[in-house]
Structures are given as structure tokens and as C-alpha cells.
Structure 1
Amino acid sequence: MSGKRIMDIEVLRAVAVLGVLFHHLQGSLFTDNVPLLEQIHARAQHWWGVDLFFAISGFVIARSLIPALQGCTTRQEYWAQTRNFWLRRVFRLLPSAWLWLALILLACVFLNRSGAFGSVSANLQATLAGVLQYANFRFADSFFHYEYGSSFVYWSLALEEQFYLLFPLLIVLCRKHLVWALLALVAVQIFTVRTPLLMVVRTDALALGVLLAMWSAQPGYQRWRPTFLHRPWAGVSTLIGIGLLLSFMATDRFTLSAYRIGSIAVLSAVLVWIASYNRDYLMPAGAVQRLLGWIGSRSYGIYLIHIPAYLLVRELIFRLQSTGLPSPAGHPIVTLVLAFGLIVLLSELNYRLVEMPMRNRGAALVKRLGTARPAVPSSGATSC
């Protein structure tokens, strides 16, 4: 499949990150109860955006990595391809992640008169967990037990980065049995009660995304195209309908709660499957698609930035209100405008000044290594 950007995938990234932003409004941006938010959260939860991200990541990574590794004929070629994959991931993800970990820590020390950013000790430990990629395990351990720190969203990044580290090894170990290994991984998780630990190592959506990528390389995949979604509003209605169903399943009103995460993973994979055909089934070309495409392309930065932005707005409002002067600060609408404006500004700066330059450096380094060290077949090497 082509490496060209799929607009429906960008739309799904936008939907996922907007859901996470909305989910974290209560508690991170608003500490007092906002009646409207309380009513919405009682009927719909939006944390499932993380699982949609997992399904997207599994699909996008596997559609390029599996053919590259399965095309290897020597061990040297396999390790070269794996090294290149890891280098691209490092330059794509870590600079922004580490930058915002450092900024959160600085804000905790110097911009924390309100206490919004939490304690220095908790944030130091959270920063270490984020840098060393065990944030998901710390998050599970801290759940309702102790303060995690302001970088708690890094749990999902740690899980994805663990996946990026181990997936190339899984491909070569399982070889022709990779499909069965992934199906077993999904089946076991779907029928397992999720403890806090299992919640932060949930890989069913990732595995389903990988399976979709493998299926998409088969000739018969095109026969399953959902062409009926090209009818006016059919695709958008499907996206809204599945989104509403996911939001309901994420609440306590969903009676089959033991199967909640597995069901959300399957529906997330359905959305990625629709998007994978690159026919604009979910969102037709136009102004809305361009807007969601912009959000989707910046979704990684938005995900990293939204919590520190929320906390910074809380700190700003606290300082304005502590002056005793009349101010509209603290009104929910003003608070939302400030927070979302800050997120848009910071995510755009992050995209232009950090994400794209570092991504290009990673690609240049991989290219330089490829030209500097041409693969020399070894007669004793084993097949990939």
C-alpha cells in the first residue's frame, strides 16, 4: 500500500484526540463540577479515543513494516530494516514527548502557585517513568493509591512505544504464524476481566490494527469495500453512529462491562477498516475534512500538550482571581476559549518547530545510514 496520507485516517485521529480532550475537561481544566459536563459524562464517555489511536497505530505501522521485514532475505537486512524503523520512531516521538515532560516539570517548579501541576516529587517520578517508557505500569500502580503527576497521559505513549520496540521481534519470531498469534492475543484479552494492570497493557486494538494491515495486502480485501458509504451522509452518519455507540459503551450504563474494552477495540478497528480504503467514506472532501485533517496531523502534539495547557490556564485564572480585581476569568466559556486557543497555538508551534524538523532529521539519518552501509549478503545468514 502507498505511504501517502489517508484523509479518513487523519479524520479518525482528530476524532480520537478531540474525545480525549473532552474527557479530561472535568478534573484537569475544571476542578469544580460543571453541571452540563456532569450530565454529558453520565450519558457518554469519550476515553475510547485512546483505543482508536491504538487501532490506527497498529494499522499504520504494520502496513509498511511487515512488508519491509518479510521482504528480507538475510539477517543483516532484517536488522537494518528494524534499526531504520526504530530510528524513525525515536525521531518522530521522543523529541516532543521529552520536551513536554521537561516543560511540565519546569511549570511544576516555577508556575504552580495554585498547585494545579501537583507536587514536585510526583512529577519527578512521572518524568522518569515517561522517559524510560514504563509510565503505563506506574499509572496502573498509582490508580486511586497515590498522585501520579501531571504527565499521566504518557501511559498510552509508553504502551505504544513498547509495541514499537517488540513488534519487529514478534514478526520474525512468529513468521507465518503471525496472524494466529495476533488473533490469540485479541481473543485472550476480549474474554479477560481487565484489572488496572491489564488496562494499561491492553493491546487488542493494536493487534486488530495490525491484522487489518495484513488483510489489506491481500487481493480479496478490495471486494469488501463498503461502497454504500458513498451515498450522501452515509459515511458521516456511520462515523457519528459508531462514535455515539462507543461513548455509550464507555459508560457504566453499558451492562456488559466485562467486555467493554474488547468491544471498543473491535468497533475502533471497524472505523479503521472503513478508513483504510482511502475513499473518503467517513468524511467527504471539503472544509470539515480539511479542519479535521489539520487536527489529525497535529494530534500527537495536541495529546501531549492538552493537559499542561489545561493546568496552565487554571494557574492563570487562579492568579487573576487572587488579585481581587473584576475579571471574566473563571467563567466556563472563557476558560474553554483560553484553553483551546492555547492548545491550538502550542500544537502548531510544536508541529512546525519540533515534530517536522526532527522527523525529517530521522528520515535523513536513515537515508544516510542506508547509503553509507550497503547490505552485503552473508552466505551463513538465516532467512527472515
Structure 2
Amino acid sequence: MSSQRIMDIELLRGIAVLGVLFHHLQDSLFAVPVPLLEAIHLYAQPWWGVDLFFAISGFVIARSLIPALRGCSTPRQTWEQTRNFWLRRAFRLLPSAWLWLALMLLACVFLNRSGAYGNVQANIQATLAGVLQYANFRFADSFFHYEYGSSFVYWSLSLEEQFYLLFPLLIVLCRKYLVWALLALVAVQLFTWRTPLLMVVRTDALALGVLLAMWSAQPSYARWEPTWLRRPGLGLTVLIMLSAVLSFIATDRFTFTSYRIGLIAVLCAVLVWLGSYNRDYLMPRGLLKNLMTWVGSRSYGIYLIHIPAYCLVRELIFRLQTAGLPSPAGHPILTLLVAGGLIVVLSELNYRLVEMPLRNRGSRLVQRMGVSRTAVPSGATSC
């Protein structure tokens, strides 16, 4: 399968990260309740963007990794493909993640008069959990018990890292039974009450993304292409409707809570399916889609940066107020614009100076290892 970027998937990444940013406005950016946000949250909670990220990750990773591993004929080739996958993921994800963990911890120590970043001890423990990839388990343990720290969003990153570590092994072990194993994983979770622990190890959206990637290699995938979405405006209408339904399901007004996460996972997989054809079904080409795909391409950095940016704006407002200077306090729109501008600048810098250089370095490292493996040893002589 092609590893070429699918722009409609980038669009979905943009929608996912904007939903998470909106969900975290109250309490993370605004220390006091904002009536409009509270009113919206009664009927719409866009935290399902995390599950959309999971479905996208399962799809994008599986469409290249499964064919690569199934094409291996020896254990050595299998190990090399797995090692290369792990190396690329590490260079893609860890530098930015560790950078912003370190910056948040430093801000907690030196830029925290307002207390926006939380206490130092909680942030030290949260930083350790983020670096060692057990943040999801610490997040579950902290529910209603103790302060997690300002890097709480790392729970989902830890879950994805665990998936990246174990998924190649699952492919190798299950082989032709992989589809059935994934279907069982989805079915079991669909009818399971999600305790805090099960919420932070939820893998149904990831599994559905993988199943979609496997289906995309079959002839029936082309036959089921939703060509009816070519009618002008219909695809965008479907996108808005599905987003609205997902946002409602995520609220307390949705009473079938036992099936909430499973249903969200299925609908997120439907969105990924519609975007996977890369036919502009969900949104026509134009300025808005270009903007959303830009957001999607920077979504990883935006996800990492938005909480420290929110906390920094709160700290800035606090210092301006205590100094008797004009501040955005009491002006939610102005506060939102300041925070949004900061996120845009920092995420672009992160993308250009950290994310892409390190991703390219990881790719070059994998290429060099492949070349060195096939090169003739320096002491060898030809016959």
C-alpha cells in the first residue's frame, strides 16, 4: 500500500485536535466558568477527538506495517521490519513529546505564580509517567484521588505508544487470524462498562482503524466507495451531522452510557472510512479545507502544546492583573485569540525545528541500517 499522505485524513486530524482544544478551554484556559462554554457543553462535548485520533492511527499504521511484515519470509526480515517501524515511530513522536514535558516542568517551577501548572511534585511524577509511557495508568489512578499535573493529555500518547510497541507482535503472532482477534477486541469492549482503567486502555477505535486498513486492500473496499457523497454539499453535511451526533453522545444527556465509547469508536471509524478514499467527500477543496489540513499536519504538536499554552496565558493574565496592568481577563474572545495565536506560532516552530528534522533523521538512520546490512563486508574479497 502507498504511504502517501491522505489529505482527507489530515482534515480529520484537524477536526480531532480542534475538538480536544475546545474541550480543554474550560478549566485549562479559563480559570472561572464561561457561561457560553457551559451552555455548549450541556449538549456537545468534543472530547471524542481523541478516539478519532485512535482510529486514524490504527488505519495509517496498519496500511503500511501489515503488508511489510506479511511480506517477510524469514525471522530476521521480520525483526528488521519491526525494528525499523519502532525507530521511525520513536524519532517521529518522542523528541517533541519529551521537549514539551521538559518545558512544562520548567514552567511549573519558574513561571507558576498563578498556580496554573499545578504543584511541582505532581508535575515531576507526571513527567516521569510521560517519559516512561505509563501516563495512561497514572491518569486512571488519579481520577478523583489526586492531582495529575499539567501534562495529563499524555495519557493518550502513552496508549498509542503501547499500541505501536505491541501491534507488530500481534501481527506476527495472529497471522491469518488477525482479523478475528481484532473483531473480538472490538466486540468485548463494546459491551463492557468502562471503568477509569478501561477508559485509558480503550483500543476499540485503534482496532477498527486497523480493520479498515486491512479492508482497504480488498476488492470490496472499492465497490463500497461512497460515491453518492459527490453531490455538492452532501459530504460536508454528513461530516457536520456525524460530528454533532458524536458530540451529543459524549455528553451526560446520552443515557446509554454503557455503549458510549464503543459507539463513538464505530462512528469515528466511519469518518476515517469516508476520508480514506481521498476524494474530497467530506469537504470540498478550498480555503477552509487548506486551513484544516494545515491544522491536521501540525496536530501532533498542537496536541502537545495547547495545555502549556493555555497555562502560560493564564499565568500572563495573573501577572498583568497583580501588576495593575491591562489584561485579557474578563474578555474570553481576546483570551482565546491570544492563546490561539500562541499555539499556532509554537506548533509551527515545533513542526519545522523539531518534528520534521527528527522524523527525517529517523528515516535516514533506518536507510543507513538497511544499506549497511546489505553492504559487502570490508574484509571480503571477490572470487
**TM-score with structure 1 length normalisation?**
0.97
CA distance in 1: counterparts of 2:326 and 2:70, whole angstroms: 66
Q: What's the CA shift for 1:45?
A: 0.4
Counterparts in 2 of 1:358-373, with a 5 A limit?
A: 358-373=358-373
> After superposition, what is the alpha-carbon deviation per residue over 1:240-260, rounded to whole angstroms, capped at 9, x for unaligned?
000000000000111211100
CA distance in 2: counterparts of 1:325 and 1:349, whole angstroms: 29
Question: Which AA in structure 2 matches 1:246?
Answer: L
Q: What's the CA shift for 1:325?
A: 3.1
CA distance in 1: counterparts of 2:26 and 2:203, whole angstroms: 27
Q: What's the CA shift for 1:341?
A: 0.4
2:317·2:327 contact (CA, 8 Å) conserved in 1?
no
Counterparts in 2 of 1:1-384, with a 5 A limit?
A: 1-374=1-374
Report how many aligned residue pairs link the two structures.
376
Q: What's the CA shift for 1:374?
A: 2.4
Counterpart position of 2:381: none
1:320·1:329 contact (CA, 8 Å) conserved in 2?
no
What SS does the aligned partner of 1:47 have?
helix
Gapped regions of structure 1 (runs ≥ 5): 377-384
Q: What's the CA shift for 1:342?
A: 0.3
2:118·2:150 contact (CA, 8 Å) conserved in 1?
yes
Q: What's the CA shift for 1:270?
A: 0.2
CA distance in 1: counterparts of 2:114 and 2:38, whole angstroms: 24
2:123·2:149 contact (CA, 8 Å) conserved in 1?
yes
> After superposition, what is the alpha-carbon deviation per residue over 1:259-281, rounded to whole angstroms, capped at 9, x for unaligned?
00000000000000011111111
> After superposition, what is the alpha-carbon deviation per residue over 1:68-122, rounded to whole angstroms, capped at 9, x for unaligned?
0000000000000000000000000000000000000000000001111011100
Counterpart position of 1:382: none
Q: What's the CA shift for 1:327?
A: 3.8
1:97·1:304 contact (CA, 8 Å) conserved in 2?
yes
Question: Which AA in structure 2 matches 1:70?
Answer: R
2:126·2:135 contact (CA, 8 Å) conserved in 1?
yes
Question: Which AA in structure 2 matches 1:332?
Answer: P
Question: Which AA in structure 2 matches 1:241?
Answer: M
1:104·1:151 contact (CA, 8 Å) conserved in 2?
yes
1:23·1:47 contact (CA, 8 Å) conserved in 2?
yes
What SS does the aligned partner of 2:46 have?
coil
CA distance in 1: counterparts of 2:271 and 2:375, whole angstroms: 39
Q: What's the CA shift for 1:375?
A: 9.7
1:375–1:181 CA distance, 2 compared to 1 (3 A) = farther
Q: What's the CA shift for 1:328?
A: 4.1
CA distance in 2: counterparts of 1:333 and 1:249, whole angstroms: 27
Gapped regions of structure 2 (runs ≥ 5): 377-383
CA distance in 2: counterparts of 1:256 and 1:242, whole angstroms: 18
CA distance in 2: counterparts of 1:317 and 1:103, whole angstroms: 19
- Percent of paired sites with the same residue: 80
